[in-house]
Amino acid sequence: MWPPFPKIPKVTKPGVHIPTDLFACIIGYDDLKQAIITSLKGNSPFFRHFLFVGPPATAKSLFFMELERLGAFWITGESRPTKVGLREVLSELKPLVLCIDELDKLRASDRNILLSPLDEYGRLTVVKSKEQRAVKMETHIFAAANQDNFSPELRDRFWIINLKPYTEEEFIDITREVIRYKIKIDPKTAEEIGREVWRISKSIRDGLRIAGAIKTGMNKEQAISLFRNYSAPFMSS
């Protein structure tokens, strides 16, 4: 029996509702931001799916955090959805936007399910009650991966976006602005958080967690100390 899935919006014309400030917290990448927004507003099967490739400490996380605001259905490679489950998500829920994080960790058999929905015909074959039918898909699929180790067939379904890692100063600047935009704390504290996060994890989400703790009422020194003491990788002697 299939597990229950969360209720999310079905595909309806004219498409995805896009906040006016989508991607506003991301510094740079203006051409890429505009391309994604144009794709979301349009309905071309040839300009619908994007694959972000790059190591940690790139803009992948920021783009995905913003895409979450669209009510995207979320899958991670580590969650290892079954064939039935992934097919059910696509054919029955028909999410407006599907985000697949760590696509490189998704099993090859699960990746293969995406080949048909990702092509220009957007059709997914579904077998139910011994009957086979083709379901028309209009889902925008965004995927992210640390490495590009995909088959030529899967690569051919995406517009591939290769992202280079941030430098230290770029990361600190971007983390500061994201924290100011989303958590609304003073820039000096936001920059201090950015420097600490760069040193330990290079995860902007860690910066948001620290800022969130401070905004909630935790002392700044306590929040940063907590992160420093327990979030750094443990090195055994």
So where are the chain's domains? 30-162, 168-230
pLDDT value at residue 85: 66
Using CA atoms, how far apart are residues 181 and 213, in angstroms rounded to an integer? 16
Closest CA to 87 of 118, 114, 51, 48: 114
CB atoms within 10 A of CB 233: 6
Which strands sit side by side in the sheet containing 140-145, from one edge to the other?
73-76, 97-101, 140-145, 50-53, 159-162
Say which amino acid occupies 194: G
Which residues in 185-211 are b (16+ Cβ under 10 Å) and which e? beeebbbbbbbbbbeebbbbebbbbbb
Using CA atoms, how far apart are residues 194 and 208, in angstroms rounded to an integer? 9
- Fold for 30-162, please state it: Rossmann fold (3.40.50)
- Mean pLDDT for 105-118 is 77
Residue 5 reports pLDDT greater than 60: no
- Mean pLDDT for 10-31 is 78
Q: Which two tokens stand for residue 27?
A: 């510094």
Using CA atoms, how far apart are residues 164 and 150, in angstroms rounded to an integer? 19
Q: Is 170 exposed, middle or buried (0-12, 13-18, 19+ CB in 10 A)?
A: middle
pLDDT digits (tens, 9 = 90+) for 48-82: 899 999 988 889 989 999 999 998 888 887 665 54
